[in-house]
């Protein structure tokens, strides 16, 4: 009996220990579950806080985002309305940020945006607000603004801060910004209106050359509407075949022969008529439409040149301008090679023109691209040399064939001998491979004798390879619908006789005034019927002048037959470039 009782007690103790073990295990399980549940709760709470943060703050810079700025601006407008105060909104867009981002990579672009955010915050008062709207767009809210000069002072301070050098990937860069300013209550009474108008003013700053600030005005609003209309039409212009090429001749000084042409884009807008590139190229750049438009220009120019060659004309260099976005496009080399192959044009007859600012923006990438183009076999030219900050020593780095001198170098030549000295220096050697002599944009007629005088001095060597182009030679014209071609080729002998005539005048007059001699020779050649076509780019179609670029007009002479009058007479015209 005792043994059975002991056995029962032992069994009971065993069950009790098992039960305790189960309780301990279950308690541990519950504790772990509670821990997991608490972690999940914490994670969800953190996620909610993160979502809340991202809803109102920019994840990259930590600045308020568009949503938060909109709410803050709305509250500030209500406060300003109650207290009859003013406030200002500054819309800031970084210039050429996409080029840096595409060239150096997104990591470098993010570093740049963070640095800009820091510089913006350091440029403002403690109670001012700066936000990042997205991409390279920032916006600043200035409360309690008493007058516009305060907003302009802050804008200038911001431009100075952003413009300081910064280092990305161990390279020093400078970036600029365009700022649009709008004020309450003058320019708008609510958040959407103020933001829209600030954006309009910012685009005006872009149009004014970037790196500046502009205040909003009703005139800008009208221009903004026109811009939107042009952008909408531009997207369909290629499909509607509304683009056309006009051609500007390039003349050899000694012979007067046409050695090449420059293809210039015109838009035959169905409502606005013929538009020059200044009206729409900037829109094409910003929207990316410049890439397909640029391909069309290049292919059309090559096809036209090939057509002229098939008609038996001598070889003609075709110059085509590249935009900054085209030059930085990763498919540029492929596109150029394909177009040359498709059209059958000799690469040596194609000259691609770029600006010096495009070269100096990223020198290493520019050299790589230029070398790639040279391997294809095309010629390379720098357009508007002298408008940027590069020097002739810097240009030695680039495989350039031609330098097109900006007209600002020669505009004042007749009255300023120092300008002659400056143009004399625009010539350099690259080892044994000498670059072409400068191309001279012919301007007012009074400049022509001075340019010829430089030729006789043997310094700029215009008489030994120098070429000229511009409206003083002939206005730009479209190619003919049926086999139009430049006839300047057919009058080389006449041009040579004109040169001989000028040399004869020099010999007879001895040490007379050179300018008067050149003009007299020009008049003789003009009066003589044999020379009436000597510098005439005769395309067999009606002339279409560029009516939208009169600010750069020049005087040139043209000979045309008049009703009821025999022969030709001379008329002076002012045409756009």
d(CA 34, CA 26): 12
d(CA 1, CA 450): 140
pLDDT in tens, the chain (577 residues): 677 777 777 778 788 888 888 888 888 888 888 888 888 887 877 777 777 777 889 999 999 999 999 999 999 999 999 988 999 999 999 998 888 888 788 888 999 999 999 999 999 988 899 999 999 999 999 988 877 778 989 999 999 999 999 888 888 888 999 999 999 999 999 999 999 999 999 988 998 889 999 998 877 666 667 777 888 899 889 889 999 999 988 887 667 788 889 999 999 998 889 999 888 888 898 888 999 999 999 999 999 999 998 988 888 899 999 998 899 998 999 999 999 999 999 999 999 999 877 887 778 888 999 999 999 999 998 876 655 545 556 677 788 888 877 665 555 555 555 444 444 444 433 333 434 444 444 444 444 444 444 443 333 333 334 555 554 444 555 665 434 455 444 434 444 444 444 454 454 444 444 445 444 444 444 443 333 333 333 333 333 333 333 333 222 323 333 333 333 333 333 333 3
- Report the DSSP beta bridge partners of residue 178: 93
**What are the two backbone dihedrals, phi and then psi, of residue 477, each rounded to the nearest 5 degrees?**
-135, 155
Do 339 and 299 form a contact (C-beta atoms < 8 A)? yes
d(CA 372, CA 360): 17
* Beta strands at 439-441 and 467-469: parallel, antiparallel or unpaired: parallel
Q: Name the one residue in this structure whose structure tokens are 């149009």.
A: 207
According to the model, what pLDDT value does residue 162 have?
Answer: 95
d(CA 141, CA 392): 45
Collect all residues with Cβ–Cβ distance below 8 Å to 293 and sequence separation of at least 6. Answer: 237, 238, 243, 265, 284
Confidence (pTM): 0.52
According to the model, what pLDDT value does residue 476 have?
Answer: 55
The H or E element spanning position 571 is strand 569-575
d(CA 73, CA 89): 9
According to the model, what pLDDT value does residue 438 have?
Answer: 47
Angle (CA) 195 197 199, round 5°: 70
Distance of CA 295 to the CA centre of its chain: 16
- Report the DSSP beta bridge partners of residue 521: none
Angle (CA) 141 142 146, round 5°: 150
Write out the two tokens for 297: 């220009």
Q: For residue 314, what are the CA distances in angstroms to 188, 218, 307, 309, 327?
A: 62, 54, 12, 7, 30
According to the model, what pLDDT value does residue 197 have?
Answer: 93
Angle (CA) 298 300 301, round 5°: 65
Helices and strands, counts by H and E, the chain: 18, 21
Do 475 and 575 form a contact (C-beta atoms < 8 A)? yes
* Beta strands at 258-269 and 317-321: parallel, antiparallel or unpaired: parallel
Under the phi-then-psi rule, with left for phi > 0, alpha for psi from -120 to 50, and beta for the rest, what region is 16? alpha
Q: What does DSSP assign to residue 315?
A: P
Could you give the domains of the chain? Answer: 66-216 (3.30.70.270), 244-575 (3.20.20.450)
């Amino acid at each position: 009996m005792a043994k059975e009782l002991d056995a029962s007690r032992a069994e009971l103790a065993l069950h009790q220990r098992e039960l305790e073990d189960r309780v301990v295990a279950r308690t541990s399980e519950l504790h772990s579950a509670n821990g997991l549940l608490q972690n999940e709760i914490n994670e969800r709470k953190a996620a909610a806080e993160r979502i809340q943060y991202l809803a109102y703050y920019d994840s990259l810079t930590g600045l308020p985002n568009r949503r938060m700025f909109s709410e803050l601006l709305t509250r500030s407008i209500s406060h300003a309305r109650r207290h009859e105060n003013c406030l200002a909104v500054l819309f800031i867009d970084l210039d050429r940020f996409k080029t840096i981002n595409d060239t150096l990579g997104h990591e470098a672009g993010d570093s740049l945006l963070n640095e800009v955010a820091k510089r913006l915050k350091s440029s403002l008062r403690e109670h001012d607000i700066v936000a990042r709207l997205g991409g390279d767009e920032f916006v600043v809210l200035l409360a309690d603004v008493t007058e516009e000069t305060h907003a302009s002072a802050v804008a200038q301070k911001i431009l100075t801060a952003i413009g300081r050098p910064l280092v990305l990937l161990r390279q020093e860069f400078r970036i600029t910004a365009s700022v649009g300013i709008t004020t309450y209550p003058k320019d708008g009474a609510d958040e959407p209106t103020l933001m829209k108008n600030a954006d309009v003013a910012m685009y005006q700053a872009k149009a004014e050359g970037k790196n500046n600030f502009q205040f909003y005005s009703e005139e800008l609003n009208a221009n903004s509407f026109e811009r939107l209309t042009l952008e909408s039409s531009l997207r369909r212009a290629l499909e509607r075949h509304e683009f056309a090429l006009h051609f500007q001749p390039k003349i050899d000084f000694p012979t007067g022969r046409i050695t090449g042409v420059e293809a210039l884009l015109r838009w035959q807008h169905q409502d606005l008529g013929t538009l020059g590139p200044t009206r729409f190229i900037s829109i094409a750049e910003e929207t990316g439409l410049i890439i397909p438009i640029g391909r069309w220009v290049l292919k059309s120019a090559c096809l036209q040149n090939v057509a002229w060659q098939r008609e038996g004309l001598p070889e003609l260099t075709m110059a085509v301008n590249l935009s900054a976005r085209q030059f930085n496009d990763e498919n540029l080399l492929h596109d150029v090679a394909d177009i040359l192959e498709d059209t059958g044009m000799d690469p040596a007859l194609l000259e691609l023109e770029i600006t010096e600012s495009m070269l100096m923006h990223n020198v290493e990438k520019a050299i790589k691209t230029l070398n790639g183009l040279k391997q294809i076999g095309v010629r390379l030219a720098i357009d508007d040399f002298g408008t940027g900050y590069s020097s002739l020593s810097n240009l030695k780095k680039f495989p350039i064939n031609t330098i097109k001198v900006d007209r600002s170098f020669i505009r004042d030549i007749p009255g300023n001998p120092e300008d002659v000295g400056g143009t004399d220096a625009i010539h350099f050697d690259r080892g044994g491979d000498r670059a072409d002599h400068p191309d001279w944009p012919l301007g007012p007629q009074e400049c022509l004798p001075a340019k010829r005088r430089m030729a006789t001095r043997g310094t700029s060597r215009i008489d030994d390879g120098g070429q000229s182009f511009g409206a003083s030679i002939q206005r730009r014209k479209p190619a003919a619908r049926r086999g139009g071609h430049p006839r300047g080729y057919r009058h080389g002998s006449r041009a040579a006789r004109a040169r001989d005539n000028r040399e004869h005048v020099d010999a007879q007059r001895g040490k007379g005034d050179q300018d008067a001699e050149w003009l007299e020779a020009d008049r003789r050649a003009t009066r003589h019927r044999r020379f009436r076509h000597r510098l005439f780019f005769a395309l067999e179609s009606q002339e279409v002048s560029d009516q939208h670029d009169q600010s750069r007009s020049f005087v040139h002479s043209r000979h045309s037959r008049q009703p009821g009058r025999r022969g030709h007479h001379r008329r002076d015209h002012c045409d756009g470039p």
